[in-house]
Structure 1
Amino acid sequence: MSDHVVIGRFTPQMLAILGCNDRELVTSVSHLEKMMFDHAISAARLKNLHGMICTPEKIFRSASQPATSIVVMTIETLRHMPIIVPIHLDKPGATGKAPDHWVASAYAKDQPAMLAKWEARGLLMWQQK
């Protein structure tokens, strides 16, 4: 039995911003548990994870994997820190399975100054107006 959890798909607006394939957003039960218990993201917030991802405040290219990953900064906050969601786009699936967009985590960014550094490095792809 797979422990993959389907979160949904990007909205047409998100697909246009990202220029990526229309694939499922997925994660695993263990990643959801880590988001809840290690990163203090409540079950209510995780229930709306798709909404948080698809109504972002900002979208960045990943600093470590800019060609294949993004970081969504949600409009949600936790302890006055923005919640960010790293996503690996078109992550290859198991043999014979189509790729998907892998939601790697969700956590409050405890170094908000890092977001300004990402912007200075030219990693900002999109920002809510």
Structure 2
Amino acid sequence: MYRALTRDIEVTVEPYYLEEQSDPDDSRYVWGYRIVIANHSDVTVTLIARYWHITDQNGLVDEVTGPGVVGEQPTLEPGDTYEYSSGCPLDTPSGMMFGYYQMQTPAGEAFDVAIPAFSLDTPGQSRTLN
């Protein structure tokens, strides 16, 4: 489990290897990840955009940006949580991801909330420092 806290918005990530979607003989490795965003602040926020920095075992970087997450732009009142799952394919048996969500308050203030760096490791493989 990986955690980051920005302005009392907590992001928790739990990655897991998807063996049934992976094919190591074809250099295809797939991970899922579950994210929980918890608003511990006293301000309502809306997740308006995301940014991901994905690095594979060879150092190849892929950057992903876009509106919301999984087709949604959730609004979190104080005390609310929002949970979703997504996935990431790589051509190598390990890698890492990190990024941020752009949040906006009802007053129009936008700020970034950190997504903690997390490791993508194939079970049974020696851990690689990515």
TM-score, shorter chain, exceeding 0.5: no
More strand by share: 2
Larger Rg computed on CA atoms:
2
More helix by share: 1
Larger RCO (alpha carbons 8 Å, 6+ apart): 2
